[in-house]
Each structure stands twice: as structure tokens, then as C-alpha cells.
Structure 1
């Protein structure tokens, strides 16, 4: 321990213990909250304890400067002796350290004029001047947009803290700054170092003196390790919830995070300990524009506003300066907390969500790791936050109207028409299309090209479901009734145009609406047509169309080698976030096809736009894809199509229903709702499909409702469906077909081992990051 820390520790030990501060308490009704609805939190937490998702918890709901609900549940310690949870239990806050201690400390230094958000980190930390890191600013660090990795190897810390810092400073970014969001502990490690360098004080001392003590947060502090390994005696160990077992003993008062521990217990990303009442004081400070309980300003109102401003970060990546804004990446805030709400979570089971519009905050503190790494706090976070939101009796009207999001789009065919068919004049054209290929005014691309001047349309090629999109089986060759042209099926005896098929064709044109999912076969047809074009020396033009489920989100595992199939043509994630034109560019290069390819891009489409923001008319891309809602659900429910489930085919709402004759609808829906998936709810449903394996048989199951598009993740849905089916019906659910669609052995093996959904999804992080880097080269739209 260095001299400064030793002096600090002595001062703490010598100081008289101050009376613990807390916000005043009030009956729920006096602050506009329904007491009966808040009381339902009891049942929600008790269910979570019974499900062994948490051993215990402290829940606190505050509104208008007062605590309206606070209660301790379950056990603080489980072993060796069970100890009841108390309101004043001290928790390892894990990543709540980032906004509460580190980001707030940075903003204090910004107010003092010692740091500028737009400055390069090299300005303050010259040792980071390598690998083009001069372009990384303080703001990039705060918003997780640096391009630095999430965690550097723990082996980097084996030779002491100074050597660890040398290795951190030498890290090479994986992408340019501000290109994308990647939640990173490294970012906040660097920010903690920045506070120490600029203030001349260790982060723990600076945060204590400028944040915690002025606010009266008497139980909030870092716990620097004594002699490198021992708990800090300044922490009341008897009130500490343990986080993990080491050498047969439970650890109290020692930070769980291994990197923070290797740095002596103090780091920018983890290390803070606190209580629910202290966190409530901090939350109220933000709601009060930076003022503490005594009216003294901790932060200026402008500084608080800056911390909560997402800036230009894109949807579902909206980050303030330390805070997750509006759409939490891992914290389902529950329905009802809307635009401008913010919060954060911690790995140990801590969370806070704050809603300025209603002057409400919800704090849930647990120590989940006592039950093992599979313990899951997501359901309790979602359910408690939803109950708290529902209890608000005098919710203000939303003063900020929602954006209409209507961005009229011209598709590739419309742009081709405007160019007067420049690329096709004088050519004999083979057109790969179906009923979705049409102009924004609804004129089929077949008719447009058949009547185009100086263009000779000579052949048509159809994908799965046929030229009219009506067939749910293999399709044979035929003739187009209107033009008399031959229609050569690419979903029959052959799935790739042959040399004979292409005889007499000068150029190929592809115009089909995709739905943005790896196992939707129109993109497999695209890849095979590209190969045929190259093999036969024929140029190909792809007329682009919007990705109907948006071009921002990328999720699900990247296809493993060895799973190549017509439903898994290339190694891309289940939800790839690309248009067919962008995929054509990617296939052509990454598969080393080298076709003479031109993509005629859409005009007016933005990556964040879903189909209903384009002004285009919806046309069912296939017989059972009848709405945008079904397209949004499809990446998740579609994963289960090859198993012994009815997925809504043969009903009026395909993919919005899921079930089987052996499923208890109420049991299944309760289990799924208990998972707390954000943006989606499940209603018990009995239905009788008219086709496939359960045709004419009543199936028990669920109907799926998207409650928030911003929060909904279809891949999280698909994985949780599989996890719940595996748990409830291990002998009835035949899961072999799941591997065929997920096309990822690690995900499948984790499912069979009983891993929870969140743990399974983390398996994808590295490969998704790599795919995003590859994908970036081929994107055509902002």
C-alpha cells in the first residue's frame, strides 16, 4: 500500500463514525404512488428468491425526494450460517462504480477546468500515445466508444500494478473511435487513472472527498486492500454481503472483480461498496440538478444534463457520460419509464434506474454470486421496475411528441428507372425476382424491365416460394403468363443457375425483398447467383431494398464452419443488420467470388429505419411472413422451427404463437414472463394449427406481444424460449433441430448444460465484435 493510501486509511480509522444519512421517508400516497401496487413487489422478490435467482435483496423506491418503499428480503449470507438481509447491508456495487464514482469524479474535474471532454486522452496520459490512440477523447471513454476491448487478459496484472498499466497503455483499439459502442471495463480503468493523474489523488480519495462526504453517503467507499490481500478494516465487514468463496471461505469487503482486486481494490470500473440508502441519496442528487440534501451543489445543473445527454449515439447504443440512456443494454427497466430515463447495473447483482419525468428511482441491490454464476437478476429487475412504474398515480403527460420516423424511400428499382436504365441498355437481361420486386408505386420489376426501352428481358429466375410467393414447397419451372418468359426455379431440382440457364443472357439483375435473418433463404439464392454470374462471365446488378427489421442491430451467433446449408449460406449472425446489396458486396469479397457486381442503392433509407418508417407498401415476402411484427419476432421463433413445436404456421398469426399439445399454456407463459425479457410479454394461448406436424391438434402455448421495439431483442427471445423449454419439458421437447438453425455448437452445448440465457448470449460477444468489423467495410447507408 502506498503512503497516501496508508494516511487515508489511518484518518478513516481515527475519525468518529458519522450518523448514517438517509432520505426522509413518506407514505406512498403522499408522493403519488399506489401503496397496493408497491406491495406487490414483495411477491415478486419472494418468487425470485424461491427460484434461486437471488439469495436476498434490498429494494428501495424513491419519489420526489423521499423514500416511499424500502424493504430487505431473504438472506444476506447463505453460508456457513444464514444471516438475514438488512436494510443497511453493504454491497459490492461492481459496475455501478462507473457512473457513481468514476464518471461523477471526471465531471467534477471538468467543472474545475482540469479536464475537457473533447481532449485526447494522450493530453493527460502521454503513455497512451501509440496505435493511433490520440483520436480517443475523454468523451469516447465515458460513452464506451473508444474501440478498446471489453477486458484485457487477467494475466496482464500478474506482475504488479505498474506493469499492468504499461500493458493497458499499450492496448491496440479494435476499431476507430466513435465507430461503434462496445461496453468496456478498460474504458473506465483508464478514466480512473485519468482522475488520479489530473487530481493528484487516488480515485477512492477524490470520490470520497468530492462526492460521498459532501452528500452524506457515509457507507459509500472503495475498500483498498491491506497488505495486498486483506479486507480494509474501514469497511464494516459484519454488514457486508459476501460475493464469492475463496479457499473455502466467503469473501467480505473485498472487491469481486479480479482486475480491480489486482490493482489493490480501487479501479475506475469496479471497487465501490455502498448501501441502498446511500445510492438513493446519490440518485436524488441527480434528480435535484446536482444538489445534495443540504442544498449544496455537488454538480452544476448543466453538468448533470450533460451526463444524461446521449448525444449522437445511435438507437440501442444510447449512452450518456457514464449512464445507459432510455434503452438499457442489460437492465430491463420495466414498462413505463420512458424517454430520458437512465440507469446502470453491476455484475454482482446491483442496479439503479432513474426517471426524471416522474421524479422516481428504483434501486435493487443483491449479492447473486452466492448462488453461483448462473443466478440471474434480470427478471427481478424488470418486474420490480414495472411494478414501481405502474404505481405512479399522477404521471405527467409526455411533453415531447414521438418522432414520426417517416423517411420515404426509393428502392434500387426506382433509382434504376430514374437513371433511364443506364446500366442495362442494349443488354439481354435475366431477372432473379419474385412478387416483392416492384417499384414504390407497386409496378412489378418484371413489367418495368419488360417495357424498358433498349432493354430485352429474356428470362426469369424465382427463389423459394415461387415467382408469386405463394408456394410453401419445392417449385418447378414454368412460364410467366403475362410476358410469356420462361421462369426457371432456383428452389427445385437446382438452386443455382446452370450454364444452360444463362445462355443468351448478357447481365443478371437481382430484386427480392429480404427480412434480415440468416436462415431466410433469399440471401442464399443471392450468394449462389453471384457464383453463377462469376462462373459464366456475366455481370450482375443487385437492386437494393431496406432491411425491414433495421440495419443497426446485429445479434445471435455467427455460423460455425461445418454448418453450411441453404439456411446458413455464409458465416454471419442470425440477425445480420444488412441489406441484400450490402450482403452481396460481403459475399462477393469474403467468399472470394469476384463477380462483376454493381449494387444500385436505395435512396432515403437510414440504418435505424424499420419498414414502417419507409413509406413503402408491405408485401408478404413469403406465405407466413404477413407483417412487420412477425418479421421482428422471426429471428427468435424461427430458431425453433425444426423442433417439435408449432410456430404459428397454419394460423392467422405465424411466428406470433408458439406451442405444442404437450405444453401447459399457463405454466409456459408464467415461466417466460418470469424471465423479465425487456420489450416482450407472453399471454397463455391455446390454438389449433391447420398445417405441419400438429395440424388439427390443439396446442398449448403462448402468444407473443412486442411491448417496446427499442427494448426487444428477438435473439434473447429465441434463447429464452429454448432455455425454458429445456427446463420445463426436458423429456418432451426434441431439441436436435435447434442446432440446425442456430448453427453454433457452443450455444447448443451451453443450452444442454443448463446455462441461463444471459450466459449463453455472452458466448457471442467476441465473434459479433469481429463480424461488425468485417461488416463495416460493406455498408452503404448511415
Structure 2
């Protein structure tokens, strides 16, 4: 049965629409579309008319056209809608009092990727914190977790490693919809409660991957052009903490990793293939490739590396695979392997790899050539699973 997002439910139900009497604003991006590919802002103009007074954009902008971390977006008056578009990835990640003035209902329609290391869920929780003292209803138009709502994987973020890619103690693969992230924030982390409403999806089931929903995929950020990229993202996003390319500047971004000093077939045949076999990790194939980034890391330099192909989603463990590949590249490249230096996502002091991992222990595991059994010991999810069960709405 076809899945309908929270936006679809709002668009198709006039009784739901009548529940919002005052001025409305919308936080959205490129992927904020209904099942007919119509952008949410167009539907809001149609439904709410002159009561639709403001737009907000997250990281990468309202148009999702800004590429890199810590590249900010300006505030503008939209040339078509003739209303302000405020950037929540600008001089501030928290909306100001001025931005929120005159709003009764602020809708949030953002496609998340199901991974802790992604900023949209933190834009939502910062918004909830800001509006906890205001008479503004936050309305999340819920969307699918593209890598399902059952599987959770990876270490829990440790205190002291919070950042804009990890504000809360959740695992790398968190198993929530963005609406459920809002509910978990309210229940476990918020000092004061915001007025939060979730417009639930219809027909979404927790075991669904995005392609099971029948919904159209539009890139939620500039380097996730394909729905398959969301499957590899929890593995390859780790490499943002290194000078290894994760494929930005190619047509396979966040599905590949590589470096100019790697001869891919030699690396795979003589080294990586036997390590993967010994690890007993399943559900994927690694393919040696050569690629040429056109921007960002190693721009215009030929890189050798590997592409991750998911062959069985039921046994595939992306966080483990990413950590394993990272460990092998660290020791294979030797002095040519470099950790990225600060700043990263507005953290100017800690190693980017540590704030991505939410701990420094995984970097030490990599440098000390730790075992897969040791890697497994970082994953302690019993308490988190109990929390997740408390806030599930599907």
C-alpha cells in the first residue's frame, strides 16, 4: 500500500488544514515534496494564502544547493513567494525572536537519512528548545526513515562530544523518523516542553526502506542524489573526519571512498578482501574503482578506492563496514593517511573524527588496529532500545 507523508496527509485532508487558524511558516528544503512532486511551499501558498508568512531553510539551504559543511546560506526575500526565507545555517543555527515573530504554527518538513551524523534532526531539536517559551506550535510533517525504523547500529554519543552533527545520546543508525526524534527530545532531553504536534504518515511500516514506500526520492542534501546513497551514508560519512575522499565531486558521492595513493585492485586483492572475509560481515560487496573528484578533497586528482554495493539489506551493517574500511586504510596508507583537523561543524577544538564518532575511543581503536570483537564492544544499545520503544508512533 502506498505511503503518504505528513505533507500528503495535510494536503489531502481539509479537516486537518482547518486545525491551523493563525499565521503559518514552513521549514523545508529540496526534498519537501508531495507524492505528485509538488513542493511543500507551493501547497502552503495554495492552502493558507496570505497566512503563509515565512520560510526557513536548514543546512544546504532552502534550495539544497550549498555543498559543504560550514558554508552558510543568506537570508533572502523569495522572488516567487515574496516572503522571507530565513537560514538556520547562517550566523545562527537557532531562530531568533525576530525570525519567529508573527508565527502561530511553524511546520517542519525535512527528509532525514536515519543517521546521527546529519544536521536536520538537530535543527528540529534546537527549534523545539527555542519555542518552548513561545506560543508557537511546532508541527512536524513526518517522513520515512529511509533505512528503516527497526535496525539500530553503532555507538551511543558520549558526553563531551556534542556538536551540530551529534547533539543527543543516540547511536549512528538511530531507527527513528524525524517526528520521533522530536518526541524523544521532548521526553528525554528537553528542559522545557514545546508545543509539538506530529502529522503522522499513513501506511508507513517500520521495516520499510525508502524504495518500499513508493514515494519519489529527491536529494535531501547535495551529495545524496540516489536513495541507495542513504544505505551507504552511515559508513562513508565517517570519512568526513579524514582526508580520504568520500566521493564528493563525483556522481557516486557517499557510496565510494578513495585516495590518490591507492592502487585499487592491489589494495582490494592483496589486502581488503581477506580482511572482509575474516570479519564475517555480510550483505555487501566492495568493488575496486578509480575516480576523479571535481571538487573538495583531491579535486582533479585521480583516486583509487572502493565502492560499497549493498546486496542484502537484512544482514548489511554499514557502521561496522565503515569502521573496518577506515581501520584498513589507516594502516595501508601509513603516513599518507591524515585525520582532518578542526574546525568541523562549528567545533574548533576537537578532532573532527571524534565528534563524528561521538567518542575518541574509535579513533584509538583504528590507530591500534583493534579487532572486530573490540568494535562490537562499543555498541551498547539496550537502554536506547527501551527509550525508542517508549516514543514509537508507528
Normalised to the residue count of structure 1, the TM-score between the two structures is 0.46
Measure the CA separation in 1 of the matches of 2:18 and 2:362: 45
Partner residue, 1:497: 95
Secondary structure of the 2:47 match is coil
2:356 alignment partner, one of 734, 741, 762: 741
Q: Is the 8 A contact 1:462 1:491 kept in 2?
A: yes
Q: Work out whether residues 248 and 297 of structure 2, in 8 Å CA contact, stay in contact via their aligned partners in 1.
A: no
User: 2 CA distance for matches of 1:536 and 1:668?
Assistant: 56
Distance 2:29 2:112 in 1: 11
SS across alignment from 1:685: strand
TM-score normalised to the size of structure 2?
A: 0.91
Q: What residue number does 1:370 align with? A: none
The reply on whether 1:531 has 2:129 as its aligned counterpart is yes
Aligned position for 1:608? 207
1:515 and 1:547 in contact (8 A); partners too: yes
For the pair 1:419 / 2:13, whether they are aligned, the reply is: yes
Structure 1 position 424, deviation (Å)? 4.5
Counterpart of 1:409 in structure 2 is 3
CA distance in 1, matches of 2:308, 2:48: 49
Q: Does 1:755 align with 2:349?
A: no
Equivalence for 1:672: 272
Pair 459,424 (structure 1): closer, same or farther in 2 beyond 3 Å: farther
Out of 35, 46, 49, the position equivalent to 1:440 is: 35
Preserved contact between residue 238 and residue 357 of structure 2 (Cα < 8 Å): yes
Cα separation, 2, equivalents of 1:606 and 1:498: 36
Q: Is the 8 A contact 1:435 1:469 kept in 2?
A: yes
Does the alignment pair 1:683 with 2:287?
Answer: yes
| Structure-to-structure mapping, 1:121-200, within 5 angstroms | none
**Structure showing greater relative contact order (alpha-carbon pairs closer than 8 Å, 6 or more residues apart):** 2
The residue that corresponds to 1:708 in the other structure is 312
Give the superposition deviation at 1:738. Answer: 2.4
Write out per-residue CA displacement over residues 532-564 of structure 1, whole angstroms, 9 at most, x where no aligned residue.
211323121111000111111100111111111
Q: Deviations over 1:472-516 (max 9, x none)?
A: 131111122221111000011111111111111112110111111
Please say if residues 25 and 107 of structure 2, whose CA atoms lie closer than 8 Å, have aligned partners that are also in contact.
yes
Q: Distance in 2 between matches of 1:478 and 1:613?
A: 37
Residue 155 of structure 2 aligns to a residue whose secondary structure is strand
Distance 2:41 2:79 in 1: 12
Counterpart Cα distance in 1 of 2:38 and 2:306 = 39
Ranges in structure 2 where 5+ consecutive residues have no aligned partner: 340-350
Q: Shift of residue 455 of structure 1?
A: 7.2
Q: After TM superposition, give the deviation of residue 762 of structure 1 in Å.
A: 2.5
2:108 and 2:293 map into 1 onto residues whose CA distance is 34
Alpha-carbon displacement from aligned partner over 1:387-423 (angstroms, at most 9, x marks no partner): xxxxxxxxxxxxxxxxxxxx31111012123331446
Q: How does 1:492-571 map to 2 (within 5 A)?
A: 492-571=90-169
Q: CA deviation at 1:425?
A: 3.0
| 1:294-373 pair list within 5 angstroms | none
> Would you say the 8 A contact 1:679–1:711 is kept in 2?
yes
Is the CA contact (8 Å cut-off) linking 1:639 and 1:741 kept in structure 2? yes
Query: What residue number does 2:390 align with?
Result: 777
Q: Distance in 1 between matches of 2:48 and 2:295?
A: 45
What is the aligned length? 373
Match of 1:464 in 2: 59
Question: How far off is 1:603 after superposition?
Answer: 0.5
Equivalent runs, 1:102-117 vs 2, <5 Å: none
Question: 1:665: Cα distance to partner?
Answer: 1.3
Secondary structure of 2:229's match? helix
Match of 2:236 among 632, 637, 645: 637
1:695 match: secondary structure:
coil
8 A Cα contact 2:60 2:73, kept in partner: yes
Determine which structure has more spread, i.e. the larger CA radius of gyration. 1
